[in-house]
Structure 1
Amino acid sequence: MEGEQSADLIRGQLRRIRTVAGLNQEELGRRANYSASTVSAVETGTRPLDMPYVKRIDKVLDTGGLFESLLRMAEGEGLPSWFLPWLEAERTAKQLRYFNPTLIPGLLQTANYARTVLRFDDTRPEGEVEKQVTARLERQEILMRERPPQVIAVIDEAALRRVDAIMGEQLAHLVKMAELPHVHIHLIPADAGLHVGLSGPLALARSAEGGWVGHMDNQLGGSVVDGEEGVATLLATWESVRGVALPRALSVSLVKEVESQHGPQ
């Protein structure tokens, strides 16, 4: 059932983006070298989604590989259907905002860090862990695009001071990411005291049209927030946590200081 729901979401996004591009099924088919009946069959679910089709549609609609990524994750990475709308928002965003009081945000994680986090669920099969590590690293490819999104990450200092053998490597990677002009990392120092962000992590994506989509993690998984009231609440929370964080340069200096305390890698 989970796979069927994921496929339905992909088909829905295929229809939506085709419509936004101003193309009917016949015109899209002509450009992609498929018949209009094939396009219709894919969008209605009477023809299965396959990789050659979505790769061609990605190229025609200039989506930056969105549908290929969605299908790969729906097919094998074991991601829940609710995550796919956020994945689309993340891949097409002009600006991304992440806050996490306990962990490094996924878009900035190393493979070893991601692997450790995914193993928090000790019942997850090793093969599934590795697939999800690969999926997480594939998401990070948006940072290296010719026109990447601006990424602003606010992280609590406590997340950097976890005592673990993988942290030296992770912090070195965080410093490297902070050197990218479009990646802004801000730390909330340990002496900031209690703040609203301690209630939990959040993420926000702003589209090219200026609309916002939010995402929240919790113990049961996560949820996508796209309603006006919910998004407004997340934006207000973001402003609060951003307000108690250090400036960019001071934050990077603090990351380097903590990295040096983890010893040689």
Structure 2
Amino acid sequence: MEGDAAPTADMIRAQLRRLRTAAGMSQEEFGRLVHYSGSMVSALELGQRPLDRLFLARADEVLATGGLLVYLLKLAERDGQPSWFRPWLDAERSARQLRCFQPTLIPGLLQTENYARAVLRGDESLSADGLDRLLAGRLDRQSLLTQTEPPQFVAVIDELVLRRTGEEFLGLMVEQITHLISCAEQPNVSVHIVPAEVGLHAGLSGPFVLARGADGGWVGHLENQLGGTVVDTEDGLATLLARWESVRNDALSRRQSIELMKRIVTTWS
């Protein structure tokens, strides 16, 4: 997260200072308890260094906040997401069912940290801090699949996504597909692969995601090179739901898809 760019970051620093001083601790004393130097604590409180999740987790323990600071960091990471993406984050967070089609990449909710970093690094306009901020937000979103009452997540992925690699990315892809297999074996996650022999199909015009809320209503999301669009019109949703049925019908079953992913990993290993 980039210092003062997010208002929530300032709130976290103010709360940290307030809680530390209320506990009667100097920066040096507090630093010893959280295993950071006093100068590091000062730099974090003044915004001279980016906020650190491990530091805030230790601070929550020492100050007995009940996890307040880490929770505020999650809000700050959400504030750091592109403005066009925030409405979709709300729909995703409250969804009871998610359907995702991806013809080019592993879906964000199923990406490993290394794969996600490699994808985000492709945007040369991102600073190192900006990349770290987006990466942290993406990984934090994945927790919705392991929460107490997770949504049912169904992903359809083109086989070419699994085979798109160069020699330098081989290890990264083995790790990613192994993780994908592990995700696909969770009771609330299904991964279906559209085999390469299908050829042209309705989904090749682009990726999309559909979220079904507790009220039974659907919301869609389209992402492109310039940002993304939330789809909530009757006609737009009808089109996306029809496209979903088409690509899902072209895909392998859950078990067949897992077997295909295992064959790919075995070949590369």
TM-score by length of structure 2 reads 0.70
Alignment of 1:188-227 (within 5 A): 188-227=194-233
Unaligned 5+ segments in structure 1 are 1-5, 8-66
**Bigger Cα Rg:** 2
* Structure 1 residue 123, shift from structure 2 partner: 2.1
Amino acid at match of 1:183: V
Distance change >3 Å, CA 182–CA 119, structure 1 → 2: same
Alignment of 1:93-242 (within 5 A): 93-163=95-165, 164-165=169-170, 166-242=172-248
Contact 1:89–1:207 (8 Å) recurs in 2: yes
2:32 corresponds to which residue?
none
2:92 corresponds to which residue?
90
Q: Does 1:248 align with 2:254?
A: yes
Distance change >3 Å, CA 68–CA 237, structure 1 → 2: farther
Amino acid at match of 1:181: P
Distance in 2 of aligned mates of 1:74 and 1:154: 26
Distance change >3 Å, CA 224–CA 135, structure 1 → 2: same
Query: Secondary structure at 1:136's aligned position in 2?
Result: helix
Q: How many residue pairs were aligned?
A: 197
Query: Secondary structure at 1:148's aligned position in 2?
Result: coil
Unaligned 5+ segments in structure 2 are 1-5, 8-70
Amino acid at match of 1:120: G
Query: Secondary structure at 2:215's aligned position in 1?
Result: coil
* Structure 1 residue 221, shift from structure 2 partner: 1.5
* Structure 1 residue 224, shift from structure 2 partner: 0.9
Q: CA RMSD in A?
A: 1.7
TM-score by length of structure 1 reads 0.71
Contact 1:70–1:87 (8 Å) recurs in 2: no
Distance in 1 of aligned mates of 2:204 and 2:72: 36
Structure 1 moving runs of 4+ over 4 Å: 67-70
Contact 2:108–2:116 (8 Å) recurs in 1: yes
Q: What is the percentage of aligned positions where both structures have the same residue?
A: 54
